[in-house]
Amino acid sequence: MPDDPSSPPVCVIEAIPVGGDHEVSPALVSAEGIPTPANLRIFPELGRGGMGRIHPATDRNLLRHVALKRLDRGLAEQSFYRDGFIAEAQITGQLEHPNIVPVHELAIDKNGVPYFTMKLVQGISLFKWLREASRPLGLTRSRPASGDYAQMEAPGAVGTPEYMAPEQARGNPAEMDERSDVFGLGAVLYEIVSGKTPYGELRDPDAILERARAGEVISIDQAAAGIGVSKRLRDIVARATAPDPADRYSSVVALQRDVVSFVRGGLHLPRKAFQTGALIIREGDGADAAYMIVRGRCRAFRAVGDKQETLAIMGPGDVFGEMALLLDAPRAASVEAVDPVTVLVLGKSTMTEGLGVDGWTGALVRALAARFRDLEQQVRSSGMWRG
């Protein structure tokens, strides 16, 4: 439901309710059991999850844009899905926090489909954000208010297969505890880090569920190969998504502690994207960062008269710009993007503070860099250099 930039920021229509037809057809409303309460104007579906669907809507009385979440019509006939959906709305509606979307109303329509409305948050979806090339890398079991027949206590797999712990996919509540929640959070972290989900890139929910039941988690090392993810972060993800609950973090708090420690440890490197042909570093410029290629290829070259001398074609996992950064010297070469490129950016402050290069380790690294530079210059001067 696009905003009209020409419309005033506040609109007042004194007569209520405000008219206007729904933007979903009567046939679709009938087929899918879409709630159409008198106080709301419903727009086409915005998104969906494993059990619910989201529609933008307009409150005809308050002229407020809201999001309507409805339970899938088929699931509304099953008490533990229906009760769980209602419990979700009631629990969320009692919480107040800047990062929790407020709930406005909860009701059941004439066809028995429960729905609730909440604030319509503008922005991009988590799915799209996870796939943004420029994004940075990278969080308990309880008995719901709806009682013994709630989802946590019901036999059978309940949830989104891509993020289910194996014991959750097997559908035995007796096997599930807080470590099942640890797996779910770990699966989200797995996707943030690698852009993939723990059970691979299958599309069929039944196939994913079967793989989840068998505990066939794809190694994060394999999923993140060539992306340049810290081993420390990969170890956190691997422990959180271990197929055997005994190998996982014992609690969400323990997982949170390690993630926060990692982020505060200075190894959380930002990413930057460049289009084909973009000049990433220029020969002769001062150095303020080094780079590791995550995706795409780069060409390193030097100016030789009015021509260019190609030094190397680099791909994922290759690092460039580190010599000038370590030696605080001008760039010895230029680097341009051959393809659309994503890099991790290692700034001077990160190297100094996070990697401890001001100590003896840093002195050793700088000495090795200086010797390598001197050796390269000697080879060039001897006429043996072939690029």
170-202, pLDDT tens digit by residue? 887 788 888 988 998 999 889 888 888 899 887
- Could you give the C-alpha distances from 356 to 101, 329, 364, 368, in angstroms and in order? 41, 19, 12, 16
The CATH number given to whatever domain includes residue 323 is: 2.60.120.10
Is 348 inside any structural domain? yes
* Residue closest to 270 by CA, chosen among 354, 380, 333: 354
pLDDT at 44 over 70: yes
pLDDT (average), residues 297-307 = 90
CA dihedral 241, 69, 171, 173 (to 10 degrees): 90
Do 164 and 234 share a domain, yes or no? yes
Do 168 and 258 share a domain, yes or no? yes
Q: Which domain holds residue 86?
A: 26-119
- pLDDT tens-digit map of 241-253: 999 999 999 988 8
Do 378 and 325 share a domain, yes or no? yes
Total structural domains within the chain: 3
In whole angstroms, give the CA distance from residue 288 to residue 380.
26
114-118, 300-304, 314-318, 374-378: segment of lowest average pLDDT: 374-378
pTM for this model (two decimals) = 0.47
Is 364 inside any structural domain? yes
- Could you give the C-alpha distances from 42 to 32, 61, 109, in angstroms and in order? 13, 14, 14
Predicted confidence at residue 84, as pLDDT, reads 84
CA dihedral 309, 310, 311, 313 (to 10 degrees): 170
Do 259 and 287 share a domain, yes or no? no
Do 162 and 243 share a domain, yes or no? yes
The CATH number given to whatever domain includes residue 213 is: 1.10.510.10
The CATH number given to whatever domain includes residue 112 is: 3.30.200.20
